[in-house]
Amino acid sequence: MQAQTEAGPEKSGISEQSPTPPRPAVDPPADRLVEVAAGREVTAEVHGAVLGETPVLEIDRFNLWYGTKQALHRITMPIPHGKVTALVGPSGCGKSTLLRSVNRLNDLVASVRITGDMRLNGDSIYDPRMDVIELRKRMGMVFQKPNPFPMSIYENVVYSLRIDGENCRAVLDEVCEASLRGAALWDEVKDRLHESALGLSGGQQQRLCIARAIAAEPEVLLLDEPCSALDPIATGKVEDLIQELRGRYSVLIVTHNMQQASRTSDYTAFMYLGRLIEYGPTTDIFTKPILKETEAYVTGRFG
């Protein structure tokens, strides 16, 4: 149910938006977006700084269709190792779809078809021989709405170890504490580890989901609008946490919130109607982007 409703807006967003070209308020008109809306291919502006980083994840000419509707168009972007990369863009531009393609959650949607490839530390993600379950174990994902499992806080955190058959108490205890500390939640829950995770507040639940995602030492951490269901205080805590994760984890975060992108990320990619428009260091994207269209979007003048 949830998957469809989550995927739904993406699909309908595309179909609703594509016929009406946006009218940017800036002058001269953002013709690149008009081009895109008209269905013509445009080349993405990728800043040189991005290419200088060691990539943890390489997205290579990736196309994706929901049925006959193309949702992603030839996305090519490297995700730098140990950095926070933000995906921004208006609703329905394919950010979440791209994120869900990285750990192949889109496999669960029957109508999805893809071409192109992604590589995680050099291993092809869409290689037919790739074991999806093994692949997902190398990534962590946090969703829009906190989705703690119906079990204790402790069991939530060590879930990925449990499904691997790890039952050694000492190992589990250690991972649990380290992950909860990593997610800045340890001090709040250390006395009630064995109580139901469903009793936590929304912000705590989301940090618990982050703890769960980092428990398996993922190579990439995927955050899909992790703060959209949280109040400002909880959002602040999660943002602080993302700051702390920088360097230790490679993070790919989808966000609607420009301030959040500028505060938390090292690199920012601007997407529009399933295309990558501009991709570069966050400071450059927000202060001196190559394209006026990008500037118009990040300053809130459209979208």
Partner 1 sequence: MSSDSQRPRRQRSAHASLAAHGEPWVWLTAGALALAIGMIVGLLAFIAARGAATFWPVPLELVELRDGRRVLGEISGREDDPGSGVARRLLRTANFELTGSHFEWVDDAAVGGTSLPEWATAVERLEGGRFHGLPTRLLHGAEVVAEGPAEVWIAYEAAHPEARRRWRQALRIDKVERGELQRELRAARLAVVQARLDHGAGSAAETRAEGDAAEVVARVNAAEAALDARAAALRDHNAGWAVEFETADGRAVPIPLDGIVRAWQPNRLSLGAKIRVYLGRWAEFLTDDPREANSAGGVFPAIFGTIAMTLIMALLVAPFGVLAALYLREYAGRGPVTTAVRVAINNLAGVPSIVYGAFGLGFFCYGLGAGIDELFFKASLVADSQPTFGTGGLLWASLTLALLTLPVVIVATEEALAAVPNSMREGSYACGAGKWQTIRRIVLPRALPGIMTGLILAMARGAGEVAPLMLVGVKKLALDLPIDGTFPFVHAEREFMHLAYLIYDVGFQSPNAQAARPMVFTITFLLVAIIALLNVAAIRIRSRLRRRFVAQQF
DSSP 3-state of 168: coil
Written as one letter, the residue type at 254 is V
Backbone phi, psi, residue 120, to 5°: -105, 110
Exactly one of 150, 170, 191, 288 binds partner 1 (CB under 8 A); that residue is 150
User: Is 126 one of the binding residues for partner 1 (CB under 8 A)?
Assistant: no
Tell me how far, at minimum, the Cβ of 202 lies from partner 1, in Å.
5
- Of 76, 83, 74, 75, the C-alpha closest to 54 is 83
Please tell me the number of Cα atoms within 13 Å of 173 on its side-chain side.
3
Exactly one of 134, 191, 232, 288 binds partner 1 (CB under 8 A); that residue is 134
For residue 22 the two structure tokens come to 């946006």
User: Is 199 one of the binding residues for partner 1 (CB under 8 A)?
Assistant: yes
User: Is 141 one of the binding residues for partner 1 (CB under 8 A)?
Assistant: yes
Exactly one of 85, 160, 206, 264 binds partner 1 (CB under 8 A); that residue is 160
User: Is 202 one of the binding residues for partner 1 (CB under 8 A)?
Assistant: yes
- Say if residues 88 and 271 touch (Cβ distance below 8 Å): yes
Judged by beta carbon, residue 2 or residue 12, the one nearer partner 1 is: 2
Helix/strand/coil (H/E/C) assignment for every residue in 121-162: CCEECCCCCCCHHHHHHCEEEECCCCCCCCCEHHHHHCHHHH
User: Is 148 one of the binding residues for partner 1 (CB under 8 A)?
Assistant: yes
DSSP 3-state of 42: coil
User: Is 133 one of the binding residues for partner 1 (CB under 8 A)?
Assistant: yes
Tell me how far, at minimum, the Cβ of 79 lies from partner 1, in Å.
17
- Interacting residues with partner 1 (CB under 8 A): 1-4, 6, 103, 105, 108, 133-134, 136-137, 139-141, 143, 145, 147-151, 159-160, 162-164, 196, 198-199, 201-202, 205, 209, 212-213, 216, 222
